[in-house]
Amino acid sequence: MSPTDLQLHLFHEGTFYESYHLFGAHLVKRDGRTETRFCVWAPHAKKVRLVGTFNDWNGEEHELTKINDQGVWMIVVPENLEGHLYKYEIITKDGRTLLKADPYAFYAEERPHTASIVYQLDGYKWNDQAWQRKKKRKPIYEQPMFIYEVHFGTWKKKEDGQCYTYAEMADELIPYVVEHGFTHIELLPLVEHPLDRSWGYQGTGYYAATSRYGTPHDLMYFIDRCHQEGIGVILDWVPGHFCKDAHGLYMFDGEPTYEYVNMQDRENIVWGTANFDLGKPEVHSFLISNALFWLQYYHIDGFRVDAVANMLYWPNSDVLHPNPYAISFLKKLNEVVFAFDPNVLMIAEDSTDWPKVTAPTYDGGLGFNYKWNMGWMNDVLTYMETSMHERKHMHHKMTFSLLYAYTENFILPLSHDEVVHGKKSLLNKMPGDYWDKFAQLRLLYGYFMTHPGKKLLFMGGEFGQFDEWKDLEQLDWMLFDFDMHRKMDNYVKSLTHFYKKQKALYECDHDPDGFEWIDVNNAEQSIFSFIRRGKKEEDTLIIVCNFTNVTYHDYKVGVPLLTSYREVFNSDDVTYGGTGHINKKLLAAREQPYHGKPYHIEMTIPPYAITILRPTRKREGKGNHGTKKVRRYATRGGARE
């Protein structure tokens, strides 16, 4: 019933990684009856009382007992209080009374109300065993990964403007994701949070799935359904900072508890939040337990760890000073998570050039296994927003990423941050007229899909949302009434399914042998050509991207193999809204060097388009007199029989 000495020792040491089993509200059995135990950490409090619907919010008869000198308080109420609302009434050293939600509550009132709710998480029956076995058999590094980033409340709304519940979204969102070929859904934070427009990034209840969309069991059902359809679920997670609403973690017992004592370190001026004190052992226990909690109870497949750059360096300074507490915390977090499940995705949203973010901690790394490639995103979008005639001066923006593409395990993000707050939608970033915009967006997606690295696309991008993300409204689904948006949606479906079938586009994402430039220097025409390779030579693809609206015929491209090449994908196909400049016939390689390759082909280059070619394989056949005829083809090192 009471916490053990070992539990308390580990909590204050920063290594109690299942602290949610002790802290918070729990139903416990004693002498054949169900009672409710409450436990909270409030090291500076003078008194702590429990208030709620079971005592008319009067805590005089429900004062918690301080069970150690480090500020752990507990009470056992001899009743089953499941479903009751509650808060902690904290009397500070200077006599103030604070009403605080439970930091470890599993459920909370729907905003704008702020009380915690006694809730038992046990009892949901999972049906995702096949998914769990698949994850162990097929590690993600050599598999396709295309993540659909979703804000749960604004993907789609009901006719009356109400949000879909977790359970209802299982029927709405999951079939859509499967149809489009995405491999994972990444959900903007679902921890309890008071303000809709914080998108969940400013939380108050780290253990409480937000009640906006239903109960914790409803969220489990949604994730379970995703897994049954072969879709992984990644949760946006914010261990760096939290909101300062009165009922939350901020100054929890009247003094800095979860946050730094020093105001310079504590205050996150840009976001109006407070930074977690990552040097405090109890905060380590709270946050690392939280990661394991989501993995254990919700079967989350991974985390996109928000604002890593804001953690790695001390805030509010013009000089970048590394924060040793944050570095130590991130390493420990990743070590513990991967010890729990080596197949978890730990994705760092880091905009800095900090080295070895995705290297193991034993090799001096931070221990993540993926990092958002923010540099690629910024450079490519800058290039795409540049007019066709000026792109030749920005050529380096498209080539620079390959100088560091293999220094980390990268995910290429086209995320929510780039289509909100006046930045315009991806479609509307494209220069030119109506047709130009769609053609260039198709080209951008093609380049995105063929560049080394896993992929992420924010919702609405798949059908060419014209307006930027309106974070209080649903996506502009009425755009499906317009031909070009339907064609864009079909294009993304085709591109995604093509990507998943082509091993060259994902098998060697983290191996430099998987990429080779053919022509990286054609700035004048803004044409890029390169090779993607899988583990087997027959999976090789030739990719040609034309970032101008000029069409070229009989354009020479160097190739590595002496064989014929078949066009297998072309974004200029009329079915996608293009002009139809495609290469219908096989393109036979000629034994003349070009672009530093031993052979070349001549092909049609469509305007604002990506063209993908695959070398054909000649089969053995019979000659006119029944004699065996062997076709000659080339390897990277030359021809062979």
Pairwise CA distance, residues 399 & 521, whole Å: 9
Residue with tokens 């060419």: 464
Q: Is 349 a catalytic residue?
A: yes
**What is the rounded distance in angstroms from the CA atom of residue 333 to the CA atom of residue 277?**
15
Q: Which of 218, 224, 277, 306 is catalytic?
A: 306
* 8 Å CB contact between 506 and 451: no
User: Rounded to an integer, what distance in angstroms lies between the CA atom of residue 193 and that of residue 202?
Assistant: 6
Write out the two tokens for 491: 């294009």
Separation CA 304–CA 187 (nearest Å): 9
Which element (helix H / strand E) includes 297? helix 281-298
DSSP class of residue 104? T
Instruction: Point out the catalytic residue in the list 349, 408, 572, 573.
Output: 349
Q: Is 282 one of the catalytic residues?
A: no
Length of the chain: 641
Phi–psi pair at 450, nearest 5 degrees: -100, -10
* Tokens representing residue 426 in the block: 């991806």
Q: Give me Rg for the CA atoms of the chain.
A: 28
Interacting residues of 510 by C-beta distance below 8 A, sequence separation 6+: 141, 406, 409, 452
What is the spatial distance between Cα 434 and Cα 436, in angstroms, rounded to a whole number?
5
Q: Is 471:199 a contact under the CB 8 Å cutoff?
A: yes
Instruction: Calculate the CA 110 to chain-centre distance.
Output: 26
Q: Give the count of alpha carbons within 13 A of 424, CB side only.
A: 11
From 80, 86, 91, select the one nearest 103 (Cα to Cα): 86
- Burial bucket for residue 579 (CB in 10 Å: 0-12, 13-18, 19+): middle
Tokens of 403: 């100088």
Strand 72-77 with 116-117, pairing: unpaired
| DSSP-assigned beta bridge partners for residue 12 | none
**3-state DSSP call for residue 440?**
helix
Phi and psi at 633, nearest 5°, equal -140, 170
The pair of structure tokens assigned to 619 is: 């089969």
Q: What is the dihedral of CA 412, 304, 313, 362, to 10 degrees?
A: -90
Active-site residues, by number, are: 306, 349
